Amino acid sequence: MIITDLLERNAKLWPDETSLVEINPAAQPEKTVTWREYNLIESSPEGRYRREMSWREFDVKANRFANLLLTRGVKKGDKIGILLMNCLEWLPIYFGILKTGALAVPMNYRYTAEEITYCADLADVSVLIFGPEFIDRVNSAKPDMPQIKNWFFVGAGRPSYADSYDEMVRYCSSIAPAVFLDEDDDAAIYFSSGTTGFPKAILHRHRALIASAMIEQNHHGQTHEDVFVCIPPLYHTGAKMHWFGSLYSGSKAVLLRGVKPEWIFQTISEEKATIIWLLVPWVQDILDEIDRGTLDLNEFRLSQLRLMHIGAQPVPPSLVRRWLKVFPHHQYDVNYGLSESIGPGAVHLGVENLHKLGAIGKAGYLWKTRVVNDKGEDVAPEEVGELILQGPGVMKEYYKNPEATAETLKDGWLYTGDMAKLDEDGFIYLVDRKKDVIITGGENLYPVQIEDFLRAHPKIKDVAVIGLPHERLGEIAAAIIEVVEGETLTEAEVMAFCEDMPRYKRPRKLIFAKVPRNPTGKIEKPKLREQYCGVRLVEAQTTK
């Protein structure tokens, strides 16, 4: 079975039931409506737009785009770039690409023109489909991408060199193309998050996609009655592979275009959502608004919400405890994965294991895990080593990069670059990224441990710890601290709080500033190192 088989099954079993909903809270009421799926919620003060699509419409749109690509000479093995914000068109386009036997190549919506050019060249992209948010960047990059022969545009304001996706697909056949695919065929290229430099191209086969759907449904028990709210970007494996649980169960999913706490809870309420996946910064924002009294939960229908889960970055246990105080009846879960393992699910805590809060869990469904030393030998409990994975979601390779592939795939295991340890019950705790470890005076410091400790301070909203060069110690730990809005925090207060931490782990420098995160919630430590390493630091100032 391949992932497109699930879409075709759903279209037959539940043709008229809703598959996808798009909610755009920032849309303007006077916006011209061209798609028949648009429905304006007249009663909403923000002029919110709501679009929905049935399973039959989903499959038909995927078939139409697949047939459009075939008329342009696209063949099995070609690479098709997707550069779109989350929208109702995104997933039918993705599935249309897969139905041709071509490879879908989703791109980060924050890419600069230079990064678009780099990734398109690296992945051998020959067709690019993009939206209005990217016109300027694509215009700038286009002269450097001569290999792209076909350009498709979604939305208004189409550049003259691109064909209108909306117009072209309506004239194409709605019958699925006769292209044979199996689980060993190449399916998609995803890019590493770029938090350690220019991204690498990660090649996955169809077996990884279908496995991720099975794993997600196994972990979170989606049924046909569930409603999943998806906010993170679909170009990333995390969002899409969590949505695969909805695909597997034939249940409705909602694409919310916006992260304001009020919008999130309004969508949960109106769409009767049962499952939501949030990133750490959004959870922080929600809880902060609740604490300030600017978000009144009594205004929303929330009783049906059964599960909130988090992933994509280390999750501070203190943050989860805050959430569970406000929502004691919610199930909570965390999944660990990386793009090289087709996203979330390689390690899974499980809703029944809240007593292990702080752990990322044990090997997920269909997965195996080990924690090893530099010789590849298993470490003892409580010893720190590198987490390695084995399972059906492991990438085929880094595309066109055999050296990096050989460093990461060894003897059938994926070396994650994440440092971890096991407790006496076999639960895995992340310690830090291997490349982020700070060595100070011969001692290894793991920034995530320091960050988790500092986040427990009630005035600290977010924190990132990096290593700064030091003449005597080699490196010292510096904490970049983002203070809760409206609060005042001094260096003396922070250092007093750190007295409960072993002396060698305490940060030697404090910097009060905003903590930058990428679209999937990961701290952008290379940016912080570039900003602060080698620069003389002034003493931390009181921040309001």
Q: What is the pLDDT of residues 230-239, one digit of tens each?
A: 999 999 888 8
Which pairing describes strands 368-372 and 362-363: parallel, antiparallel, or unpaired?
unpaired
Q: What pLDDT does residue 139 have?
A: 97
- Please report, to the nearest 10 degrees, the dihedral formed by the alpha carbons of residues 396, 398, 401, 407 taken in order: -90
Range of the domain at 509: 437-532
Residue 480 sits in a domain of what CATH number? 3.30.300.30
Cα separation values, 148 from 70, 108, 129, 213, 375, Å:
15, 18, 11, 31, 44
Cα separation values, 278 from 335, 347, 351, Å:
12, 17, 16
Note the pLDDT tens digit of each residue in 366-390: 999 999 999 999 999 999 899 999 9
For the whole prediction, is pTM greater than 0.85?
Answer: no
d(CA 72, CA 62): 16
Q: Are 209 and 345 in contact (CB under 8 A)?
A: no
Q: What pLDDT does residue 47 have?
A: 41
485 occurs within a structural domain: yes
d(CA 128, CA 302): 40
Note the pLDDT tens digit of each residue in 501-537: 878 788 988 999 999 887 667 788 778 887 887 443 3
Query: What is the number of other CB atoms lying within 10 angstroms of the CB of residue 531?
Result: 15
470 occurs within a structural domain: yes
Q: What pLDDT does residue 28 have?
A: 52
398 occurs within a structural domain: no
524 occurs within a structural domain: yes
Residues shown for the chain: 544
Note the pLDDT tens digit of each residue in 85-144: 999 999 999 999 999 999 999 998 888 899 899 999 999 999 999 999 999 999 999 999
Does the pLDDT at position 488 exceed 60?
A: yes
Note the pLDDT tens digit of each residue in 47-89: 458 899 999 999 999 999 999 999 999 999 999 999 999 999 9
Quote the tokens at residue 31.
């916006």
Q: What pLDDT does residue 537 have?
A: 36
Q: What pLDDT does residue 31 have?
A: 43
d(CA 182, CA 315): 37
b/e sequence 160-198, b meaning 16+ C-beta within 10 Å: eebeebbebbeebeeebeebebebebbbbbbbbbbbeee
Note the pLDDT tens digit of each residue in 276-303: 999 887 898 899 899 999 999 999 999 9
Does the pLDDT at position 342 exceed 80?
A: yes
Q: What pLDDT does residue 313 have?
A: 64
Quote the tokens at residue 132.
């209005």
pLDDT tier at 267, thresholds 50, 70, 90: very high
Q: How many domains does the chain have?
A: 1
Which pairing describes strands 331-338 and 343-348: parallel, antiparallel, or unpaired?
antiparallel
* Partners of 188 in the β-ladder: 104, 204
509 occurs within a structural domain: yes
One-letter amino acid at 28 equals Q
243 occurs within a structural domain: no
Q: Are 170 and 64 in contact (CB under 8 A)?
A: yes
216 occurs within a structural domain: no
Note the pLDDT tens digit of each residue in 4-28: 999 999 999 999 999 999 999 887 5
Query: What is the number of other CB atoms lying within 10 angstroms of the CB of residue 76?
Result: 13
Does the pLDDT at position 33 exceed 50?
A: no
437 or 308, which is more confident:
308
174 occurs within a structural domain: no
